[in-house]
A and B are shown apart, each in its own frame.
Chain A
Amino acid sequence: SQTIHQWPATLVQPVGSPLSLECTVEGTSNPNLYWYRQAAGRGLQLLFYSVGIGQISSEVPQNLSASRPQDRQFILSSKKLLLSDSGFYLCAWSVQFDEQFFGPGTRLTVL
């Protein structure tokens, strides 16, 4: 069966520090991968999606970047965090562009 992992579960970082969030998927090949951000009590904002290794589409211009170094690994990064980067970050995968399967999320607090 397929599983999706995200880590860390929670993170507290100072403004200006770098960020690296990792997401890995098991049990499927060549998945579509997604990064979302959710502000408290709000909906999901799509940040990046990837349909294959090295293929990244950015939805919202910001100080975040994403990379897909391996088929089932998706990394969200920042060189310098802003206060506005605080939120709940969710990784998801899909086979077709139908149902998406979400990871448990990373709660990021930037102080």
Chain B
Amino acid sequence: SQQGEEDPQALSIQEGENATMNCSYKTSINNLQWYRQNSGRGLVHLILIRSNEREKHSGRLRVTLDTSKKSSSLLITASRAADTASYFCATDTGRRALTFGSGTRLQVQP
């Protein structure tokens, strides 16, 4: 299986609710990143958390990292219809290239 795997694979919520996505990985990391992809488009970087950090915030995004459990979570608060997209975690293991998970498809119903 992949280094990074997101859970759930798909998530449907109502506008205004919070959305939580999880990512698990297998090997030691330098950092973990979250990306967003709108349908048929390229990926956009959202946030990076380093291995010595436990939590990071950016606007309505909150990312946590638990290196002992090799897991991370992305929380989007007060979701909007425009947040509808696929979200990917990616890990930097020092290989000079990121390893991406298979993504969580988020649908925010207006």
Question: Could you mark each residue 86-105 of chain A with 1 if its beta carbon is under 8 Å from any beta carbon of chain B, else 0?
Answer: 00101010000111111111
Q: Verify A99–B33 contact, CB threshold 8 A.
A: yes
Given contacts A57-B96, A100-B98, contact A44 B42 (CB under 8 A): no
CA distance in complex: A49, B97 (Å):
7
Given contacts A43-B100, A46-B98, 5 further A-B contacts (CB under 8 A): A32-B96, A46-B100, A49-B96, A98-B31, A98-B92
Majority-rule SS of B interface residues: strand
Number of B residues whose C-beta is below 8 Å from A?
Answer: 24
Q: Verify B43–A90 contact, CB threshold 8 A.
A: yes
CA distance in complex: A82, B48 (Å):
36
Of B2, B44, B96, the residue contacting A102 (CB under 8 A) is B44
Judge if B45 is at the interface, Cβ distance under 8 Å: yes
**Which A residues lie within 8 Å of B31 (CB)?**
98
**Which B residues lie within 8 Å of A104 (CB)?**
41-42
Pairs A-B, 10 closest by C-beta atoms: A102-B42, A43-B102, A44-B100, A102-B43, A99-B45, A49-B97, A43-B100, A104-B42, A105-B42, A43-B103
A42 → chain B closest CB, angstroms: 6
Q: Verify A59–B33 contact, CB threshold 8 A.
A: no
Judge if B25 is at the interface, Cβ distance under 8 Å: no
Q: Verify B96–A43 contact, CB threshold 8 A.
A: no
B79 → chain A closest CB, angstroms: 21
CA distance in complex: A34, B42 (Å):
13
